[in-house]
Structure 1
């Protein structure tokens, strides 16, 4: 089976972590890939802050200045495992926050990437334990509720402390008793809708994918926000899909939004995620719908929203803080900072709204 980019990135990170510093010119041979691929991978990981790149070499990043609540050296010698569904886009910042918190505490962080294959999560966590992990941070590769039900309960039976990252368990399930740290996406959606309503727009539409826990949380948050604000749903959520994977499905989403604007049904929309939002704006322009003149638009994720031709206002989940808080909680469990009988914690961190030009801001 061909190795995915996520798996290759995880190997590269493991390699640099073990060696400390590696010349970019040596990476191709060590990874068994072309020089162009090795250089591109190194640049991508460095741009996310997961590696330091200077003078033709990459190094494991130094810890950020200042000590967190765990205190410097509190976990000296501890090995922490982290399972993430991806090492890029959204989860790059989660990983970075976890790495910084582990380094501040004197712990070593070992990363595995599932590439959104939940059926492999258990084996990858077992690999982390075999590598010496004394506690684990786990963001399962779930895509929908069926994955959570089919590939979740085993986590509650791990022999080491575990913290669930950016995921919510089925209420009442064994997994619901684990510590977890996650973004409050319902709050983020409410921020977006309140902002658009405050600008004088009628009920905003939602354009969203349905292929990840974040996308599903945004959809649920939209329904909750409408209820809180006393609004009626103007029409069903417009289903979005990745343009490269399903061009026809993506075009249907663009056309549905175009028709809603042209008919006067809507003048504002929230779009999950940044990439879809940027591509939708680009596709709407030749159809005669301009952002922000005809449509005020807010993206959800704030990974690349600021880089659009018209910088996009975006909801920014606290991704880095999620990684940091989860790691500090795990270190606290492992170092005796929390009593074994202490209540578990479900920590929700609030997203922020970053206002840019796509809603008419200067």
Structure 2
């Protein structure tokens, strides 16, 4: 039976309620209809006050009354009292896809377990917009914030991060480690320990009989920078010398020339016979690298053992890639639980029965895991 417009409206409202906000293109994909149909639906729902529209996207209504009405419409029932319900948590993420999709999923699950509502804003890796996005979450009723800033370059924290130390509500940083001693270093945070993840990869390759691996890595995100720093530390901890400078990686679709330069550098290193292993950040770049190396006669794993970093799509490569998997979903889970605990403890994080004792801040580091697949060859040492 063909879905009615009312049924589609209910699904649309439920999706926006879960996400906090959504783009029209995302809604079209989620509902399985054309963007034109979604725009028509959004216009009708916005006219009824059930959604807010802003620049090609929609969000859950900011006013309590409208939100209650929208919730009732999504549920097919009557509106609940505007004063009822649990906590409202805001999540600012740089992306809703790839790496951060799992972080968001974990935060959503933990919020649901706590009886809280999670609303989402996306910065699209534009750190200049982080503050405005966070203010939007507060205006939408968020009582606490989960923040993964859209930092990319090393100087982005200093340029765009100070506002977080002055927030009027509790906040938890996700997957970001501020500079030691900076105001943001006092904030609660939950992060993957990427140094440990890199050590797992390098140690695995060494145990298979390889020398120190090449590092092929991006430099356009905090994770990429952490992988680079962790690589130097891992080599030092294992008593290894770096075989050659880090090879800068760029997405093939963004700069074909620089990507080809990276591929040729890897090919030359393998051709000399001195390099038999590589660590590549991230999965997508690793898959493109393997494909291009094969065209140049370098086979994985016969000529080059390879470990990818992120483990989002590594298992889907023609030769499934061994990969380091940061605990992305658990970052969202634990960060949300930490925020709920902070909010439940009363003003300034103090438990009502112990107002004189302020709860200490927390920095939680979660350990990545190594998923071994075919790209490193046989499991026994060579």
Q: Report the TM-score range of the alignment, normalised by the length of the smaller protein.
A: 0.7 to 0.9
Give 1:345-360 correspondences, 5 Å limit: 345-360=362-377
Note if 1:129 corresponds to 2:131: no
Note if 1:339 corresponds to 2:365: no
In the alignment of these two chains, the number of paired residues is: 312
Note if 1:30 corresponds to 2:38: yes
Q: 1:208-228 deviations in whole A, cap 9, x for unaligned?
A: 000000000000000000110
Aligned-pair Cα RMSD in Å: 2.4
How far apart are 1:25 and its partner, in Å?
3.1
How far apart are 1:30 and its partner, in Å?
2.9
Separation in 1, partners of 2:110, 2:17: 20
Which runs of at least 4 in structure 1 moved beyond 6 Å after TM superposition? none
Separation in 2, partners of 1:303, 1:271: 13
Give 1:21-170 correspondences, 5 Å limit: 23-25=31-33, 28-31=36-39, 77-170=86-179
Change in CA separation of 1:17 and 1:151 when aligned onto 2, cut-off 3 Å? closer
Q: 1:207-262 deviations in whole A, cap 9, x for unaligned?
A: 00000000000000000001100111111000000110000000000000000001
Gaps of 5+ in 2: 1-12, 22-26, 42-73, 75-83, 352-357
How far apart are 1:264 and its partner, in Å?
1.1
Aligned to 1:49: none
Q: 1:22-43 deviations in whole A, cap 9, x for unaligned?
A: 853376433479xxxxxxxxxx
Gaps of 5+ in 1: 1-10, 34-59, 61-74
Change in CA separation of 1:298 and 1:17 when aligned onto 2, cut-off 3 Å? closer
Residue in structure 1 matching 2:303, options 253, 271, 294? 294
How far apart are 1:265 and its partner, in Å?
2.0
Note if 1:14 corresponds to 2:16: yes
Change in CA separation of 1:197 and 1:76 when aligned onto 2, cut-off 3 Å? farther
Q: Which has the larger radius of gyration?
A: 2
Note if 1:197 corresponds to 2:206: yes
Q: Is the 8 A contact 1:14 1:111 kept in 2?
A: no
Change in CA separation of 1:84 and 1:12 when aligned onto 2, cut-off 3 Å? farther
Change in CA separation of 1:289 and 1:27 when aligned onto 2, cut-off 3 Å? same
Q: Is the 8 A contact 1:355 1:361 kept in 2?
A: no
Separation in 2, partners of 1:103, 1:76: 12
Q: 1:37-87 deviations in whole A, cap 9, x for unaligned?
A: xxxxxxxxxxxxxxxxxxxxxxx9xxxxxxxxxxxxxx9511000000000
SS of 1:136's equivalent? strand
Change in CA separation of 1:334 and 1:27 when aligned onto 2, cut-off 3 Å? farther
